[in-house]
Amino acid sequence: MRDNLQNSLSPPTIASTPVDHDNDGVVDQYNITLRIKKPLANLNLKQLNVIMAFDYALASPVSMVMEGLAIVNVDAYATKQLNAGTIITQGTLKMKQPNALQIPRGAGVRNVYDDRYFDTLQAQSMEQFLLNYHTTRNETLQYRYHKDVQYVDPGQQYIDVHMSLTVPHSDVLYVPGFWQILKLAWVKYLAQFLFGYYLLYHFFLNTIMTSNVFDTVKISEIDQNDRNRCTR
């Protein structure tokens, strides 16, 4: 539609609702709705592209804040008879990281990508904007979704877009500091010590003594008392 009207498409109406299912103060899901008004009744939507910016934060094991993007791309396959009236997407918004995170010294907050990247779209093309986002940043957001396109009467003057973004708990790959390594490692070393102690004392030495591998003389307290009586 935008190509046919030379960028005369009016801005959509946007509504966003955060949802906290367990009332812990952390958003578990975003429900976002767009209503796009068609400037002409004979124009149908062929493709939908939506880019949303989110402030993303981690509290543990790494304290981090960043800005990430959620990207939606839907082909509506519009024709004169097919008019996409409602587009629905449902999915998860998760952090993606090819390399492990480095914990800042002094337990500071990692804010390498808290850089208002979305604002750079004004200074570069859409293709370059998305390419830089996916190739130059170690931490990004990825919206994986299922889509549903519902077709309506061609005379409908608007298009509704409903997007549901669930924010699950993310698995974080990071390089622990010295004290974290020490804190996590002592359990492993203690387990190895107990295993070695049991193996050495209760198995190896006990086997030697009970199997008479070496010549041994068993002396009990009773035998010692009998010897003392004989000497008297």
Q: What is the pLDDT of residue 60?
A: 76
- Residue 1 has a pLDDT of 46
Contact 103, 172 (CB under 8 A): no
pLDDT of residue 40: 81
Residue with tokens 């997407």: 89
Provide the 8-state DSSP code for 103: P
CB 138 within 8 A of CB 99: yes
Average pLDDT per 10 consecutive residues for the chain, totaling 232 residues: 56 93 90 91 87 89 88 88 91 92 72 89 89 92 95 88 92 76 70 75 65 60 54 52
Q: What is the pLDDT of residue 133?
A: 93
Residue 104 has what pLDDT?
Answer: 60
Q: How far is CA 58 from CA 109, 135, 148, 197, in A?
A: 9, 22, 31, 41
Q: Give the predicted TM-score (pTM) of the model.
A: 0.71
Contact 76, 84 (CB under 8 A): yes
User: For residues 44 and 178, what is the distance between their CA atoms, to the nearest angstrom?
Assistant: 60
* Predicted pLDDT at 217: 61
